[in-house]
Copies of this chain bind each other. A is one copy, B any other.
Amino acid sequence: MLVALSGGVGGAKLVRGFSLAGVELSAIVNTADDFEHLGLYISPDLDSVMYALANLHDPERGWGLRQESWNALAMLGAYGAPAWFQLGDRDLATHVVRSAALRNGRTLTQVTRQLCGALGIRATVLPMSDDGVHTQVHTPQGWLDFQTYFVKERCGPAVTDVRFVGLERATVCPEALSAIDRARLIVLCPSNPLVSLDPILNLPGMLNALQAARAPVVAVSPLIQGQAVKDPTVEMLEGLGLSASPQAVAQKYLPFLDGFVLDERDASHKAEIEALGLRVLVTDTLMTSDTEKRQLARSISDWRL
């Protein structure tokens, strides 16, 4: 069984690839982007992963559901409710069902299992934690909640620091620890290292679990030719004084990392990353189609480190 640590967009693509490749999978998903909006509990990364696995995602838009409509959002606008977070009509059903179940005392892990089961998803989707962890980014406007920065402010303000409120009191989902212990391969998806993977990796006990795991741990570069596919990874890395390079990302994970998947357009960096003591797989990591998602997933799953 393969374990994938995933954020939203890039992670959801690779997770879908593993699913298309028929790989038995547990996805441990970042929930530090979760927030409450109009009384609804919204979990953007869980939704992206769930919709991708259910083949309901919109590959053009890059988030949310295909064949979505926006009539509730228009009516919310008529009421003067904040409309900066694009709530689709079908997407709204997810938030309503999840929020109701959480209010009824179910855990996020239980609700996620229920929703994924109803959508016919075979992979195991696990929130990183049932406890509230909230990413905030420091900008010239002060500390902003992540969704405010990411959606409302469209990643405009320069980020100079990141923090995860509640992280030190949060407990890793026990099913996630068990999956890591049983895995034959652990993959860090090509998600934003700072706001998608760091919350998972910095959960108390997670680093120990990864170091103790019998399975090799590999990371897929979130960068191709110095750019992220669709998110402010580069700006954030540089804003925090880090280099926006594959080897800088690999360096972050060195304490528990065994291998690094480098995009073929960055093959010139292979030797530098091998010099860190890592095995390197050079391949196409762009994942513009389902075929490419499956091929990348198959290459990683078949990699014998």
Measured CB to CB, the residues of A under 8 A from B are 38-40, 65, 68-69, 71-76, 78-81, 89-94, 96-97, 99-100, 103-104, 114-115, 118-119
User: A76: which of B71, B76, B96, B119 is its contact (CB, 8 Å)?
Assistant: B96
For the complex, what is the distance from the CA of A69 to the CA of B73, rounded to whole Å?
A: 12
* Majority SS at the chain A contact face: helix
Give, as a whole number of angstroms, the nearest-CB distance from A77 to chain B.
9
For the complex, what is the distance from the CA of A141 to the CA of B288, rounded to whole Å?
A: 57
Q: A80-B118, A118-B80 are in contact. Are A75 and B93 (CB under 8 A)?
A: yes
CB closest chain-B residue, reference A100: B39
User: A115: which of B68, B73, B79, B118 is its contact (CB, 8 Å)?
Assistant: B79
CB closest chain-B residue, reference A67: B71
For the complex, what is the distance from the CA of A179 to the CA of B303, rounded to whole Å?
A: 77
CB closest chain-B residue, reference A92: B72
Q: A115-B79, A118-B78, A118-B80 are in contact. Are A38 and B96 (CB under 8 A)?
A: yes
Contact B97 A81 (CB under 8 A): yes
